[in-house]
Structure 1
Amino acid sequence: MPPKRKGPLQLVQRETDDIKRQVDSLLKDVQSSKGIIRTDEICQRCQDVQTSVQKAMGTLQKLTKADEPAPVGNYDQRKQEEERRLQGLMEKLNILSLELSPPGPSSAAGESKKEEESEDEDDEDDDSVDEDDKKSLKPSSQSDPRIYTILSDFRGEQEGDLSVKKGEVLRIIQKTADGWWLVQDTKGNRGVVPKTYLKAGSRLEGKDDSGDDDKKDSDEDDDEEEESEDDEEEEDEGLTGAQEKQRSSHSNWSIVRKALTEMDATDVLSAMGAIPSGFRPSTLNKLLMEEGLTFKGSHYIQPELSQSQLSFKDLFLDPDTGRVRARQVRTSVCFTLWSCRMISTPGVGVQVLSRHIRLCAFDGTKVLSNIHTVRATYNARNPKTWNFSPRMTGILPILLDGECFLRYSSDSADLGILFELGVTFIRNSTGERGDLSCGWAFLKLTDDDGAPLTAKTYELPVNSGTPFEKDIAMEVSATKAGGVFHQILKARRQPKLIIKLKSANSRTRTQLSLLPDTLLFCLSCVHLLALHRQLLADTLLMDRPTMQNTDLMCSPVLSTFPMLLDQPDLMDALRTVWLNAENNMSRVQKKDLPYLKQQFISVYMSSVYYLLHSPALPCHRWADPPSEEQRARVIYATVESLRHTQQTTGQSGSLQVFVDPTLQHQAFDVEELTYDLLRVVR
């Protein structure tokens, strides 16, 4: 029997396993070497493994499900898991590379040369450097390439920092790779200062730089890296033990800092000044990308097991009616996102792909529900104002619909809704994508006495930074007016988010009571979620032989419906075809639950289930205009075909799409039909 052919994804998985073994071996050698292995050899090994990770990442990003020779279940999820594994390995290698690199750009030969010098020569050099440093800060030393001017006030935040003021002239003692340079002021005080606060050359007592001076500064900047090695080799000899310890402390801190915050397009653009102050990498987007299904709606729509693991915590049947038993939770609110005002926009050099709000239940310390995203619309003439739920003909897409609901069962006194305003951008020069948080707002759902908030409109201040940082002031244009008028103008310029709490009608409240105890989603999809919940209860509570039976169940609807909560355009397609089916039902049929379930399954299988396994539909990717446009064309063509079939045959759902020779389908996978309770249950 010939050996089974391995697919491209499996080959990448094996390559990742091999890279992981190399990383583990490298880390082990570094910890146990104690100087036995040369540093340059370890650095070379580290660079080779980094290259392997980059190649594997490039290969993985090019893979598609169509490349596989045989069907692969949960292909997208497995691909994302491999991406996270490779990113984790690259982070370890980056941290190791920083630890192995010298504190400054000086060469290893220079360091070995310093070690061979005698202690007497070091002492003499220390004295000479100290004397020369004090003399070199005179105004006549403006031509010295190691003389820099402070561009802005800097206050030291920890031991070893040097507090300086704008306009001060400093001498550079040591330039380090982490960006914190060791400097000395005119009084002889030494410390470290961020290099972004420094400019080559000196500006003396109100004296303007001439064109020649500007040219000289630019020449000095160009030659900066070439001269830095010689400067550092000379000045390293003049560092005392305390100063070396101080520099080493900052170098170690920079490694930790870089490990916690990855260098990406956001960091680069922030350093370039293309991002307003207060903007941060998106916290909620990071949770969505790095935590798998933990914070996605497809996870929270699944049933939750009780503490004993022998029954369900939030799914029960009413024995008299056969319907899902309604469950009231402590918090159940409906609200509408109206608009955001005075939101700053990124600067030049980036193209904004999406303006949106990510929202979730929050208690001040952790995220308590799934993260739901609503995209904003805006007018190019007024880009600082974001609007939601635009008026348009037909059904409003879920992605633009600001009417949402939140169900949560906990009795937390600090429970509220966290709103993170964000943009997805692409850098024009490199094509690198990123997600930024433009600010955040929080609405506590109870007042000081613990009573629920009343249904009215609320204006929430938009804070800068992240919910886990101290308050950071947003950029607000200053005004020269004073008094009350000044306060009014200042209030109008503050970024705000406007939302409205509202009360739902009795039908919506009944449908909401059938849903899981914790869920945040679009209000217009409640009836679809309730029908799915009824099918889930029938399969798990009635069709199983016993409550302890965990065999695979044949249910294509239950196995694929949760995906729609993460792909809103497919949920829109289901909502459209189901609305058309309801319009052809009589009043009696709409109240007949068995008939509704049968029609729902038929409509689902002929529309969304077919689309999920159509090779013409590209994978869902957030804020990717070409992919979104192609998916919209395929979905629209399918919905129109079903509508035409319904008009000609009178049937609301037809399985003809699965036998039509003109249509293509992906290779069949048995996991498309099987509902695995043990794998998906919460």
Structure 2
Amino acid sequence: MAPKRRGHLQRIHKDAETFKKKVDFLATDVHKRSESTSDLIQRCQKLQIDGKKTLKALNGLTKADEPAPVGNYEQRKQEEVTKLQNILKHLETLFLELSPPGPSSTKDEITTEDGEKEEDEADDSNGVSNEDDDDDNNDDDDDDDDEETEHVSPLQSGFGSYTVLCDFSGEQEGDLTVKKGEVLTIIRKTADGWWLAQNAGGNRGLVPKNYLKFGVGVSEEEESDEDNDEDGSDEMEDIPEKSDEEKYGDAENRQSTPHSNWSTVRKALTEIDATDVLSAMGAIPSGFRPSTLNKLHTEEGIKYKGSHYLQPELSQSQLSFKDLFFDPDSGRVRPRQVKVNVCFTLWSCKQIPTPGVGVQVLSRHIHLCAFDGNQVLSNINTVRVTYNPKSPKTWTFSPRMSGILPTLLDGDCFLRCNSSSPDLGILFELGVTFIRNSTGERGDLSCGWAFLKLTDDSGNLLPNRTYELPVNGGTPYEKDVAVEASATRGSPTSVFQQMLQSRRQPKLIIKLKSPDSRTRALLSLLPDTLLHSLSCVRVLTLHRQLLCDTLLMDRPTMQSADLICSPVLATFPLLLDQPDLLDALRSAWTDVDASMSRSQRRNLSHVKQEFYRVYMSSVYFLLHSPALPSYHWADPSTEEQRARIIYTTLDSLKHKQLNSETLGGAEVYLTSDHEHLAFDISECTFDLLSVARQRSFRRQVFTSFFDVRKKTHRVVVQKAL
């Protein structure tokens, strides 16, 4: 009889029991002090790494992974998670006991030299050379371990004296209260940004690293530089630590607070990824940085995605809409004029440095958004570059080709924004997505940024013409950083040298233009804040019209918040996050629109009916097709596979629908020729309360988030890179 297969959850349970026994043995040895303190700390750190790996594997398990049915699966999984979390808390207590935040009076306490040895051992236990945690003993698995565990980077290694930049009041057990100007000795550095420090009185505790500056004393020049910051930022000591505690909760709950961005700030400033490693190796130009806008777009949920800004925004009272109204005279969406409504074309980029050897570039692109120098005010849109290997430092954009150009390559864009900020403009971040040849690790890199302020000193919009924008290095929160160190070497002594140096400077060329009357009328029907491709305006306005009909005409009362049966409204915003499906809808609608007569185009009821049919028989069908792989950014194989499936399926459906009467009918979904995913009620349910934008409070929180990020960025990031 074949042996019974052990399930994943059962195996994790056994590993947890073994892990608990090891922790119990460590606790016994800690109380007996049977080994040296450094050896005990090393064992504690290794167990912490193993415990986090086990907990991560447990959180990634699903019921479908089990080879056989498991009763009360979720309950048993939660019990194992709770057990592991309690063990990890016990380990943290043991670690603090081994290195207590109190006066150092015995010889068994860790001195600075012991701390240096401890960090080296921690690097070995967390780095790529760990052979105990590596079953296959190869470089690829070592790099995988780097991704799964928090480790001390070579950029963070080394000890010395650090000066406190501003007061920090410890609120939790283990924190060290420090004053501005105090000199600390760092005992241990960790990747989460909380360092173990010792003051002159021998007291030890945890201090956030962005409150520290390497060296003794803070120069008056740097303090005056902080005071005279061009962005109007306050001094570092003005960061209200106490008010942050009261506003967002204590340090233990910061990451779990729904509206707190403190955890995002800490992660953005402390994490070490492939980009940081390449910077340390000198494999990329000095002005390159991890992509700021890509981090916001991928790690902040839907806050900066076009699908979020496409939804209606609620008014201050939360009982009506702020940007969606019905015009009873025309039966259409009421046009709305906003403070900024511009169209522009991305033309080209010149003298953009290329990443060094050892990386393969998967995508060259530009992230763009509305920006006021302090915060992002719109969705983040991405346009991919047309790259020619013969001119590696020149980026160009594909020309318009009768509307068949993919949205991702379309450099013709529009921006609608109703912000009253006098510094409102468009932020362009040039970026690349790469993969390291040696490890296979992916990363997103900023090759520089440019900013176009849309108004002059008098508050008038800029004239429509071509603009050459200088490309700056670093991030939008850093000033006077060159893209390449060689670009600013020496000062030109003659007019000819100045001209030559000007031609070598990286530049972004864009053109502001005036839309025609038809496009201007369509843009006035869109949300007050949106940045997207001009080629998609027609389908976006049709969705807006269906939204108006459903929410303002078909609801029994304006206070009704019941679920609405509307497959189009429930799924259309997803297309803005999957540009290939948006292209499929745009192409299908263009074919139908071209076949309609002039009188049919003027009949709004007929146009909406045809759009509904086209949507249901094209992208709605594809959204729930099991053959279509999930959308992944800058994955050539997935993009090619999706394109093949999309257009093969659309062509097959087009041949089956012999006339418009059956277009989008139920028989399309009942045929045995195509498979479908299991039906989910969310496919056709529009939930107004969950999708309506309520941004009055979020805007206040975002302002706080960017103020803190701007103040701490120069102190931390420049040292890390």
Assess if the C-alpha contact under 8 Å between 2:492 and 2:501 holds in 1: no
SS, match of residue 354 in structure 1: strand
Q: Which residue of 1 aligns with 2:329?
A: 320
1:63–1:577 Cα change, 3 Å: farther
Q: Which residue of 1 aligns with 2:303?
A: 294
CA–CA distance in 2 between the matches of 1:294 and 1:480? 44
Q: Are residue 369 (structure 1) and residue 370 (structure 2) matched? A: no
Q: Which residue of 2 aligns with 1:50?
A: 52
Match runs of 1:547-626 below 5 Å: 547-626=558-637
Match runs of 1:399-418 below 5 Å: 399-418=408-427
CA–CA distance in 1 between the matches of 2:367 and 2:668? 36
Assess if the C-alpha contact under 8 Å between 2:447 and 2:483 holds in 1: no
1:282 to 286, 291, 304: 291
Deviation string, structure 1 residues 282-313 (Cα, Å, up to 9, x no partner): 11111111110000000000001100011100
Number of residues paired by the alignment? Answer: 518
**Bigger CA drift: 493-502 or 250-259?**
250-259
Amino acid aligned to 2:405: L
1:446 to 450, 455, 459: 455
1:328–1:434 Cα change, 3 Å: same
Q: CA deviation at 1:381?
A: 1.1
1:51–1:619 Cα change, 3 Å: same
Q: Which residue of 2 aligns with 1:180?
A: 158
2:556 to 541, 545, 564: 545
1:268 to 273, 277, 281: 277
Q: Are residue 346 (structure 1) and residue 355 (structure 2) matched? A: yes
CA–CA distance in 1 between the matches of 2:59 and 2:552? 44
Q: CA deviation at 1:632?
A: 0.4
CA–CA distance in 2 between the matches of 1:333 and 1:399? 19
CA–CA distance in 2 between the matches of 1:275 and 1:102? 41
Deviation string, structure 1 residues 303-332 (Cα, Å, up to 9, x no partner): 011000111001110112211101101110
Amino acid aligned to 2:647: Y
1:580–1:96 Cα change, 3 Å: farther
Amino acid aligned to 1:179: S
1:540–1:479 Cα change, 3 Å: same
Q: Are residue 493 (structure 1) and residue 504 (structure 2) matched? A: yes
Q: Which has the larger radius of gyration?
A: 1
CA–CA distance in 1 between the matches of 2:155 and 2:305? 39
Assess if the C-alpha contact under 8 Å between 2:274 and 2:442 holds in 1: yes
Q: CA deviation at 1:179?
A: 2.3
Listed as ranges, the gaps of 5+ residues in structure 2 are 1-6, 70-80, 114-152, 163-197, 215-264, 694-721
Deviation string, structure 1 residues 632-654 (Cα, Å, up to 9, x no partner): 001111232244346x4356934
CA–CA distance in 2 between the matches of 1:254 and 1:627? 45
Match runs of 1:392-471 below 5 Å: 395-471=404-480
Assess if the C-alpha contact under 8 Å between 2:41 and 2:98 holds in 1: no
Assess if the C-alpha contact under 8 Å between 1:603 and 1:652 holds in 2: no
2:685 to 633, 650, 674: 674
Q: Which residue of 1 aligns with 2:176?
A: none
SS, match of residue 616 in structure 1: coil
Amino acid aligned to 1:506: S
Q: CA deviation at 1:492?
A: 0.5
Q: CA deviation at 1:466?
A: 0.5
Amino acid aligned to 1:325: R
1:53–1:417 Cα change, 3 Å: farther
1:601–1:482 Cα change, 3 Å: same
1:625–1:319 Cα change, 3 Å: same
Q: CA deviation at 1:558?
A: 0.1
CA–CA distance in 2 between the matches of 1:408 and 1:372? 14
TM-score, length of structure 1 as denominator length: 0.68
SS, match of residue 382 in structure 1: coil
1:367–1:245 Cα change, 3 Å: same
Amino acid aligned to 1:619: S
Match runs of 1:193-342 below 5 Å: 253=212, 260-342=269-351
**Bigger CA drift: 331-340 or 243-252?**
243-252
1:277–1:53 Cα change, 3 Å: farther
Assess if the C-alpha contact under 8 Å between 1:285 and 1:435 holds in 2: yes
Deviation string, structure 1 residues 79-98 (Cα, Å, up to 9, x no partner): xxxxxx9xxx9xx99x989x
1:385–1:539 Cα change, 3 Å: same
Q: Which residue of 1 aligns with 2:535?
A: 524
CA–CA distance in 1 between the matches of 2:402 and 2:540? 24
Q: CA deviation at 1:378?
A: 1.2
Assess if the C-alpha contact under 8 Å between 2:403 and 2:535 holds in 1: no
SS, match of residue 520 in structure 1: strand
Amino acid aligned to 1:616: A
Q: Kindly report the root-mean-square deviation, in angstroms, between the aligned alpha carbons of the 2 structures.
A: 4.3
Amino acid aligned to 1:653: L
Assess if the C-alpha contact under 8 Å between 2:526 and 2:544 holds in 1: yes
Amino acid aligned to 2:156: D
SS, match of residue 556 in structure 2: coil
CA–CA distance in 1 between the matches of 2:594 and 2:97? 69
SS, match of residue 651 in structure 2: helix
Deviation string, structure 1 residues 396-435 (Cα, Å, up to 9, x no partner): 0000000000101122101000001100001111111110
SS, match of residue 352 in structure 2: coil
Assess if the C-alpha contact under 8 Å between 1:359 and 1:418 holds in 2: yes
Match runs of 1:34-73 below 5 Å: 39=41, 42-56=44-58
Assess if the C-alpha contact under 8 Å between 2:400 and 2:410 holds in 1: no
Q: CA deviation at 1:392?
A: 5.2
Q: Are residue 630 (structure 1) and residue 641 (structure 2) matched? A: yes
Assess if the C-alpha contact under 8 Å between 1:360 and 1:367 holds in 2: yes
CA–CA distance in 2 between the matches of 1:241 and 1:598? 73
Amino acid aligned to 1:592: N
TM-score, length of structure 2 as denominator length: 0.65
Assess if the C-alpha contact under 8 Å between 1:180 and 1:250 holds in 2: no
Sequence identity, in percent? Answer: 61
Deviation string, structure 1 residues 264-296 (Cα, Å, up to 9, x no partner): 111111111111101111111111111100000
SS, match of residue 336 in structure 1: strand
Amino acid aligned to 2:325: F
Listed as ranges, the gaps of 5+ residues in structure 1 are 1-6, 70-84, 104-110, 126-174, 183-190, 193-239
Q: CA deviation at 1:679?
A: 0.5
1:586–1:270 Cα change, 3 Å: same
Assess if the C-alpha contact under 8 Å between 1:284 and 1:371 holds in 2: yes
Deviation string, structure 1 residues 366-419 (Cα, Å, up to 9, x no partner): 000000000001110111111113465760000000000010112210100000
Deviation string, structure 1 residues 551-590 (Cα, Å, up to 9, x no partner): 1000000000000111110010000000000111001001
1:566–1:351 Cα change, 3 Å: same
SS, match of residue 643 in structure 2: helix
Match runs of 1:121-132 below 5 Å: none
CA–CA distance in 2 between the matches of 1:260 and 1:618? 34
Assess if the C-alpha contact under 8 Å between 1:377 and 1:390 holds in 2: no
CA–CA distance in 1 between the matches of 2:576 and 2:154? 48
Deviation string, structure 1 residues 613-639 (Cα, Å, up to 9, x no partner): 000110111101111011000111123
1:484 to 481, 495, 499: 495
Q: CA deviation at 1:47?
A: 2.1
Amino acid aligned to 1:622: W
SS, match of residue 45 in structure 2: helix
Q: Are residue 506 (structure 1) and residue 508 (structure 2) matched? A: no
1:398–1:652 Cα change, 3 Å: farther
